[in-house]
């Protein structure tokens, strides 16, 4: 995806989120549910205004930060090599954030569902595409598995991201199936995500220790 197209998609998504928020604003309670515990019980609220405004504002800030990263990274020339995938990833992150916002609005409008299960499909898709992008990523300081060992050597970076790509895609696909397992599915998804994130870190260290020692 080109940068111009990604900016257009991000703008449309955020504007759509704001319009929907404004449309349902009068129907929301004065205090809206904004946080849920592990048992899907509400344990945090905020005022109606911030309930509709906070997530679009946070999403806009995240999108702007992501769009700036390629210009400020010292290894920006490497980001250019997978910029299309990164642009698509930004759009998906924005869509996911607004999906969470839509779920929050729906809950406060009286729709009944388990928040922990509702977010699983979105997280699963994010991890699948993160894995796809990881397979294309080149060494940089902001995007990917950034450990002292991957940042120190291109070979360690490439091999670590090859493994990380497979693990993230597998975790994402498996997570999509977790929605059918009830509350246990949420915890299984979290375990898969944790493993997919931790294993490449350990692997990068092992690879680095096996590099030929420099004189």
144-175 confidence digits (pLDDT tens): 999 999 999 999 999 999 999 999 999 888 88
**CA–CA gap between residue 172 and residue 129 (Å, rounded):** 8
Residues paired with 47 in a beta bridge: 31
Element (H, E) at 161: helix 154-178
More confident residue, 179 or 117: 117
**CA–CA gap between residue 45 and residue 34 (Å, rounded):** 5
Instruction: Inform me whether the pLDDT recorded for 215 exceeds 60.
Output: no
Structural tokens at position 119: 């977010």
Mean of pLDDT values over 125-152: 93
Question: Locate tokens 């906070």: which residue?
Answer: 54
Radius of gyration of the chain measured on its C-alpha atoms: 19
Confidence of residue 124 (pLDDT cuts 50, 70, 90): confident
**CA–CA gap between residue 82 and residue 64 (Å, rounded):** 18
Q: CA angle at residue 123 from 204 to 166, to 5 degrees?
A: 35
Structural tokens at position 101: 């916002």
pLDDT in tens, 83-111: 999 999 999 999 999 999 999 999 999 89
34-53 burial code (b ≥16 CB/10 A, e <16): bebeeeeeeeeeeebeebbb
- What's the pLDDT score for residue 182? 67
On the 0-12 / 13-18 / 19+ scale of CB atoms within 10 A, 111 is exposed
Of 170, 138, 168, 141, residue with least CA distance to 155? 138
Contact of 214 with 162, CB cutoff 8 Å: no
- What's the pLDDT score for residue 60? 93
**CA–CA gap between residue 174 and residue 191 (Å, rounded):** 11
- What's the pLDDT score for residue 211? 84
Count the neighbouring beta carbons within 10 Å of the beta carbon of residue 91.
21
Question: Locate tokens 């990068």: which residue?
Answer: 204
Least confident of 49-63, 75-89, 168-182: 168-182
């Amino acid at each position: 995806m080109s940068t111009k197209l990604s900016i257009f998609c991000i703008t449309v998504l955020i504007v759509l989120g704001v319009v929907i928020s404004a449309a349902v604003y009068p129907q929301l309670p004065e205090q809206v549910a904004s946080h849920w515990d592990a048992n899907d019980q509400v344990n945090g609220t905020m005022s109606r205004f911030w309930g509709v405004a906070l997530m679009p504002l946070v999403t806009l800030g995240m999108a702007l930060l992501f769009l700036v990263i390629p210009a400020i990274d010292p290894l920006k020339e490497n980001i250019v090599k997978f910029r299309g995938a990164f642009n698509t990833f930004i759009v998906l992150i924005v869509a996911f954030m607004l999906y969470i916002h839509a779920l929050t609005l729906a809950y406060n409008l009286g729709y009944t569902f388990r928040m922990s299960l509702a977010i699983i499909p979105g997280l699963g898709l994010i991890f699948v595409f993160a894995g796809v992008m990881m397979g294309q990523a080149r060494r940089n300081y902001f995007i990917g598995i950034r450990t002292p060992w991957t940042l120190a050597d291109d070979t360690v970076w490439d091999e670590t991201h090859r493994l990380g790509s497979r693990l993230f895609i597998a975790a994402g696909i498996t997570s999509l199936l977790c929605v059918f397992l009830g509350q246990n599915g949420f915890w299984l998804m979290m375990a898969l995500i944790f493993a997919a994130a931790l294993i490449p870190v350990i692997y990068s260290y092992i690879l680095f220790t096996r590099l030929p020692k420099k004189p």
